[in-house]
Structure 1
Amino acid sequence: MVTLKACYFLSYCHISGYYLTDATIQQVNWDPSKVKDKLKRDIEAHVVSVRATKLSELCATYEGKLTKALAEPVEALLDSASEDTWPAIRKLLQRETKAAVSGLESAISTFELDEATEKELLLRLENHGRSVVESKAREEAARILIRMKDRFSTLFSRDADSMPRVWTGKEDIKAITKTARSASMKLLSTMAAIRLEEDGDNIDTTLSLALVDAARPGTTDRSIQSLDPLASSSWERVPEERTLISPVQCKSLWRQFKAETEYTVTQAIAAQEANKRNNNWLPPPWALAAMAVLGFNEFMTLLRNPFYLAVMFVVFLVGKAIWVQLDIANEFRNGFLPALLSLSTKFVPTIMNILKRLADEGAAPAAPERQRETELQPRNNSSNSNVTSAGSSSLTSSENGPEYSSSVAQ
């Protein structure tokens, strides 16, 4: 044990530059070169281990930063899928990867690594960025049906101002449905493959041809009807490792999507027809014709006795007033039974109110006549007083006239 410690001490002194040439140990015959080699190997192994740990920590740090910089933006871009989605993802990946690689390169420059090791670390960081984007794309592709239904519901149930649609009968449900389905199909084509390379593909054209154009009743191209472009397990000019949704899966997803959104379209059509019926109070044309034929005798009776016309006109005016006062059209929008209950409570007060208003209108002309009489009485009194005063003044003037004339004569 003492000999081993002495060997370590001598090796340390030799490595440190201290040569103990004068020190000798009697009765000991050993070679310290083996101990020196072992110590060197241990030191080098320790240095390599510490350096590998530090490099691993640095790589993990920059990989975490790159993941944080890519995950949420890529998810947001894929959620709002459009024609510019993958070009935007490529620009984002290039920018964030370049920043992360530059930071890692400056951080590992103090380790004095060889060029091959440094390139390997930087390449691994670049591949990590691509793997983050691909993993997010695969996650979104797994939820593609939910995303398609959400987009269809948003575009179909809300207008351009993001306000809920009210199906009043003026909306073109067919055009709205086509627009919403085209947007959902665009989302499906965007998520069908990973497009981190700028290689062109015809996925969008193929899906539009097979899913949208083929569904039009005016399509007469027999080649489109006979040859299904989605009857394949791979896309043209797209490698298998970059395929997220195969053509056959796209066809199945589209069929399921249409089946699950058909109920929404049916409900909108039913609401539109119900609104049209509520706004149209006239009977159908055949009913009008039947009323004209069957009511001919009653019409002739009205012509022979015009008094009935006056009675009907009065009844019409009273009915119109009751209709306006009760707001019957608005009441029946809440349902038949609630409308009857509400009208039954308002009918008698409304009739009393109409009769009261008619009585007030009939009594209204008498009040102005009384007011005129009260105004005329003071005027008559004032005119009589004026006449009396005028007569007295004339008499006075006649009596004083001669006196005035005599005085003048004098």
Structure 2
Amino acid sequence: MWWLFFYLAKLNLLGFELFNSQSLSQGRAPDESCLRYNFKMLDAYKGRGQTTKGIWIARCNDIKPFTVAMDFEGTDSNARGEDNTAFERQSALFALAIADIILINMWYKDIGLEHAASRPLLKTVFQVMKRLFKPRKRTLLFVLRDHSKTPFEYLETALKEDIDRIWASVAEPETSRSVVLSDFFNAVHLRQRFICPRDLTGDKREAEPASGFFIRAEKIWKTIKDNKDLDLPALKVMVATVRCEEIAKEKLRRFTTDDDWLALKEAVQAGPVSRFGATLSSILESYLSQYDTEVMHYDQDVRNAKRRQMESQALEVVRNAYVTILEHLYSNTLESFKTSLEQSLNKGKGFAASARIFAQSCFLVFDQGCEEATH
């Protein structure tokens, strides 16, 4: 079996997965007392057989940040018969497309053996990695079950050499020529990863936002099942488009029902409102800022486009209030011009000179009012 763990935070998602063969007891996976999962465990006293069928998902209890574990059926099980290879590749591709850490659980005695259970498993992992379109760099961790008198440094050297040989034996697709193992995987110290739980999160610069995970996972699995090429960058843009649009709509909805905006909108009906533009900009900017915070980990081009769309829609919302302000300014300015001109003419001053002076003065007042209503 193999496992996949997700660390779901408010904004970031880190995938963590473990590969096992069916013959390696599920109880030998990372300490269940540490991960606190509730999946069914293999009982060796009742014989060895398939414990997990398909893909199961559950929450790991009492672990922060919020952690979800995905349990995949054994990779070398005979339960599926001839269908095993197809499902193995589909599930491996799915897991590797959404995870960041790949943890492989294997017998120490399998190191250096050509036909050991972990070898075809590793080959499948590497083939899938090379198939991915512009894959993110993953962390590859190995857990060796049991030990012998052989010094660890010798086992480590043999394992690295064995991994390099398996990698070299995997055919290179046209899109991945002249690549080495280190182009796809990081090397880390496993012990420190479990001693310091926070270190599991690693580098978050390429972490996927948790809010878009389920949309992305559903699309990825459908693409795999339909046997289509898995274009991860395109899927990333698709998820960003869906989530950024959802977030933008929610922020726009909250803006349209904001108490301060509604009070400002009502006040405009009675006449010009002092600092209308500044007050409105402050209210709108607070929601734009919230949007920026929630979409900061999505594709930049997508989030910028949806932000501009949100701004445009918000301007449509305030358009009537803004037009009302201008109408008040126009009406008041025109009335002031008529009054001033009439008073000047009553004092015996010339029409042309008076009209020119008061027109310039009123235009200045109108322009200042428009500026205040806009900014």
What range is the shorter-chain TM-score in? 0.3 to 0.5
The structure with the greater share of residues assigned to helix is: 1
Q: TM-score, normalised by structure 2?
A: 0.33
Which of 1 and 2 has higher RCO (CA within 8 Å, sep 6+)? 2
The structure with the greater share of residues assigned to strand is: 2
Q: TM-score, normalised by structure 1?
A: 0.31
Bigger Rg, structure 1 or 2? 1
